[in-house]
Structures are given as structure tokens and as C-alpha cells.
């Protein structure tokens, strides 16, 4: 269940589609608070069945949307670098 955080708003038309069998999909997003540009990022990795494998979240402080999205891409490498999948 999603929880609304006071002082935030959300708008998205995103629909998740699974990766091909044998692949892992990574989704990353950034969120900005309504005051002073505080940014947070989060990401999740899922397999073809939609099963959650690993996720992360990080408060990145005051920065631009571009910088927060870049942080997300950088952190993906740390998350995937420690992810071991048995085949």
C-alpha cells in the first residue's frame, strides 16, 4: 500500500512492463519536495515474473532533478553489483 507524505504530490501515467524471461528490469525515479528542492531517489529490480529482487532509496539533499536522476543511475550499479541471480 502506498502512503501519501504531507506536502508532496504525485502524477504518473507509468505502467510497468516485465523484462524478457531471464532478464532483470531496473526502475529508478526521483522525487522532489515542494520546499527548497529537497530530492530523494529510489529504485527497484524485478525479474520477468514481477518478483522484487532488490531495491534502494536515498535522500540526496538539495539538488536539481537532473542531478537526482544521475544519482539514481549511479546507485543502480551498486545495487546490481551485489545482486547474484542463480540461473
Across the chain, how many H-helices and E-strands are there?
A: 1, 3
Q: Quick one: CA dihedral 67, 68, 73, 74, positive or negative?
A: positive
Q: What is residue 87's predicted lDDT score, i.e. its pLDDT?
A: 52
> When comparing pLDDT for 52 and 83, which is higher?
52
Query: Is the model's pLDDT at 4 over the cut of 60?
Result: no
DSSP annotation of 9: -
**Residue range 19-43: mean pLDDT, rounded:** 84
**Contact (CB, 8 A) for 44 and 38:** no
Domain residue spans of the chain? 24-81
pTM over 0.85: no
Q: What distance in Å separates the CA atoms of residue 70 and residue 40, rounded to the nearest whole number?
A: 12
**Per-residue pLDDT, 1:** 40
- CA separation for the pair 87, 77 (Å, rounded): 20
Percent of the chain with pLDDT over 90: 8
Q: Is the pLDDT of residue 9 over 80?
A: no
pLDDT value, residue 67: 86
Amino acid at each position: 500500500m502506498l502512503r501519501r507524505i504531507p506536502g508532496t504530490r504525485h502524477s504518473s501515467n507509468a505502467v510497468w512492463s516485465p523484462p524478457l524471461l531471464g532478464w532483470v528490469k531496473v526502475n529508478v525515479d526521483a522525487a522532489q519536495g515542494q520546499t527548497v528542492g529537497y530530492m530523494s531517489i529510489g529504485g527497484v529490480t524485478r525479474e520477468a515474473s514481477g518478483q522484487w529482487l532488490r531495491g534502494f532509496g536515498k535522500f540526496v539533499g538539495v539538488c536539481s532533478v537532473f542531478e537526482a536522476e544521475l544519482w539514481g543511475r549511479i546507485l543502480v550499479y551498486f545495487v546490481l553489483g551485489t545482486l547474484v541471480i542463480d540461473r
